[in-house]
């Protein structure tokens, strides 16, 4: 997302690019549809904070007890934690997307969600 957004001087519109991926390509799915909708509506006003609800933390603790590796869940949790101290479009988009598909809370700029 940040690379697409950085292409503004080239006339690249991230919402249009993502929407075009949904037509005539093999990249299809529910999350891509939600992402296109989120970008069309815009993420202005959404803080780049992805809330951590505890499920990933719980899953990782259980996996560690069982000596299991869950790298995708670990990375997802680390990204959420990293977003707590970061600015950036990717976290705004991720927060909006998680809200769209799971109803997770969104922190608004300058306040709570």
Q: What is the pLDDT of residues 45-94, one digit of tens each?
A: 888 788 888 899 999 999 999 999 999 999 999 888 887 766 667 778 88
Task: Give the pLDDT of residue 23.
Answer: 76
Model's pTM, two decimal places?
0.54
Per-residue pLDDT, averaged over 25-48, amounts to 82
Return the exposure string of 62-99: e unless at least 16 CB atoms fall within 10 Å of the residue's CB, then b: eeeeeeeeeeeebebbebbeebeeeeebbbbbbbbbbb
Task: Give the pLDDT of residue 70.
Answer: 93
**E runs forming strands in 11-109:** none
Distance of CA 52 to the CA centre of its chain: 12
**What sign has the CA pseudo-torsion 52, 79, 44, 1?**
negative
- Give the pLDDT band (50/70/90) at residue 27: low
């Amino acid at each position: 997302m940040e690379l697409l957004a950085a292409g503004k001087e080239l006339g690249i519109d991230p919402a249009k690019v993502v929407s075009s991926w949904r037509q005539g390509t093999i990249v299809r799915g529910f999350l891509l549809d939600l992402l296109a909708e989120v970008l069309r509506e815009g993420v202005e006003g959404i803080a780049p904070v992805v809330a951590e609800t505890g499920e990933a933390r719980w899953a990782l603790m259980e996996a560690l007890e069982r000596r299991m590796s869950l790298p995708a869940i670990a990375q997802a949790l680390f990204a959420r934690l990293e977003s707590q101290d970061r600015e950036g479009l990717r976290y705004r988009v991720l927060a909006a997307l998680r809200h769209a598909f799971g109803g997770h809370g969104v922190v608004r700029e300058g306040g709570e969600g």
